Amino acid sequence: LKLLEDKIKKEGIVLPNNVLKVDSFLNHQVDPKLMYEVGKEFKRLFGDLGVTKILTVESSGIAPAVMAGLAMDVPVVFARKHKSLTLTDDMFTADVYSYTKQTSNTISIAKRFINDQDKILIIDDFLANGQAVSGLFDIADAAKIDVVGVGIVIEKTFQKGRKLIEQHNVRLEALARISKLTDDGQVEFEN
Ligand code: 5GP
Check whether 132 is labelled as a binding-site residue. yes
Query: How remote is the CA of residue 33 from the centroid of ligand 1, in Å?
Result: 22
- Asked if the structure places residue 7 within a domain, the reply is no
Q: Is position 135 within any domain? A: yes
**Which of 19, 105, 126, 155 is the best mutation target for the ligand 1 pocket, counting ligand atoms within 8 Å of the beta carbon and taking the most?**
126
Ligand 1 closest atom vs CA 161: 3
What is the whole-number distance in angstroms between the Cα of residue 4 and the centre of ligand 1?
Answer: 17
Reported ipTM: the value is 0.98
Question: Do the domain assignments include residue 62?
Answer: yes
What distance in angstroms lies between residue 139's CA and the mean position of ligand 1's atoms? 19
Residue 160 domain boundaries:
32-178
Q: What is the CATH number of the domain that holds 155?
A: 3.40.50.2020
**Pocket, ligand 1, Cβ cutoff 6 A:** 19-22, 27, 60, 98-100, 124-132, 161
26 falls within a domain: no
Q: Calculate how far, in angstroms, residue 127's C-alpha sits from the geometric centre of ligand 1.
A: 6
Asked whether residue 97 is assigned to any structural domain, the reply reads: yes
Domain assignment present for residue 90? The answer is yes
pLDDT in tens, 78-97: 999 976 666 567 999 999 99
Atom of ligand 1 at shortest distance to CA of 61?
A: 10
pLDDT digits (tens, 9 = 90+) for 47-89: 999 999 999 999 999 999 999 999 999 999 999 997 666 656 7
pLDDT band for position 98 (50/70/90)? confident
* Annotated binding residue 131: yes
Asked whether the predicted pLDDT for residue 117 surpasses 80, the reply is yes
- 77 is a domain residue: yes
Q: How far is CA 67 from CA 37, 42, 77, 133, in A?
A: 8, 9, 12, 18
Q: Is residue 93 part of a domain?
A: yes
Tens of pLDDT, residue by residue over 119-144, are 999 999 999 999 999 999 999 999 99
Domain count, the chain: 1
The whole-angstrom separation of Cα 9 and Cα 55 is 28
